[in-house]
Amino acid sequence: MLKLQIRDDYIKLGQAMKLADLVESGVEAKLMIQDGQVSVNGEVEYQRGKKLQDGDIFEFDGSQVQIIARKV
């Protein structure tokens, strides 16, 4: 499982997909999410603006990514 460290309290799903190198663009992320190909914490997610926080796990195309918030 890939661990994706973020600087803020949350990151939007589409941005996280790009940061994890699972898609090449925001448009591609949007299409994959709208098509029901992405799940967050085990449930299909259709909003690319879904806020992911520390501990959330999203899955796409066989890859799992856990969000890790940087501790200040």
**Residue 52, H or E segment:** strand 51-53
Q: What digits encode the pLDDT tens for the residues 19-48? A: 999 999 999 999 999 999 999 999 999 998
Check residue 72 and give its pLDDT.
63
Check residue 5 and give its pLDDT.
95
What whole-number distance in Å separates Cα of residue 11 and Cα of residue 32? 17
Q: Which two tokens stand for residue 8?
A: 């803020």
pTM of the model: 0.91
Confidence of residue 70 (pLDDT cuts 50, 70, 90): confident
Q: Which two tokens stand for residue 30?
A: 């949007």
Distances (CA, A) of 60 to 1, 31, 37, 56: 12, 12, 6, 14
Q: What digits encode the pLDDT tens for the residues 47-58? A: 989 999 999 999
